[in-house]
Structure 1
Amino acid sequence: MLNFTATTNAAGGGLQLIIMMVLMFAVFYFLLIRPQQKRQKEHRNLLNSLKKGDKVVTIGGLHGTITEVMDDTVVLRVNDVTKLTFNRSSISAVSPRESAEDKA
């Protein structure tokens, strides 16, 4: 009489390990990797859509209005006199534009 339960359990344990590893990868993909890729794509689109007159915030927290857009840099007007040049990648957000009706 041979006892096959030991070999059956060992083979089943290996299959369970593989299934658990696949499930762990799926969880990491949907909770970590995919949302990060989506944020990167949105930020890349934001940087490509910058135009003169946009009010922006830099990664350092500086608020300003774009006066000039070049290939990989932008010039921000911080106040009436001060203009600063930044890399496009240092822009973190675009503030909503105020319309003429909002100002009145």
Structure 2
Amino acid sequence: MISTLLVGLPSFLLTGGGTDSSGGIFGLLLPFVLIFGVFYFFIYRPQQKREQEHNEMVDQLQRGDQIVTIGGIHGTVRRVDDDSILAQVDSNGVKLRIDKQAISSVGGQDNE
């Protein structure tokens, strides 16, 4: 009995069940294609756009820009390197080296 079911299973999948062959395997794959499309347009694509905007923001950093890191540290950019920046974080001259990818937002220019 089980062997009969296993032999009939591939034809059942190819015809979409029953004897009517109007749906076939495409009828089975349609929900998966729709789910993939929803994930692409509502999750993956917006994330790519946010990442691109963040990279553009980081690439435009200049000396004197006010920044906030993802850890909540506020500072003023003093030097921009390839992968990091040197930021002054208080009026006593304390400086921190911060990865560019750790920058959450960029404000305007410092008025010194």
TM-score bin (small chain): 0.7 to 0.9
Query: Where do 4+ consecutive residues of structure 1 move more than 4 Å?
Result: none
Q: In angstroms, what is the RMSD of aligned CA positions?
A: 2.0
CA distance in 1 between counterparts of 2:81 and 2:26 reads 56
Alignment equivalent of 1:63, drawn from 51, 62, 74: 74
TM-score by length of 2: 0.74
Identity, % of aligned positions: 41
Query: Does the 8 A contact of 2:66 with 2:110 survive in 1?
Result: no
- Determine the structure 1 residue equivalent to 2:19: 7
Cα shift readout 1:38-86 (whole Å, capped 9, x = no counterpart): 0111111111111101000011100001011111111111112211111
* 8 A Cα contact 2:87 2:96, kept in partner: yes
Partner of 2:9: none
Q: Does residue 18 of the first structure (1) align with residue 29 of the second (2)?
A: yes
- Return the alpha-carbon distance in structure 2 between the equivalents of residues 70 and 57 of structure 1: 17
Provide structure 1 residue ranges, at least 5 long, that are not aligned to the other structure.
100-104
Structure 2: stretches of 5+ with no match in the other structure: 1-16
TM-score (norm 1): 0.79
Q: Which has the larger radius of gyration?
A: 2
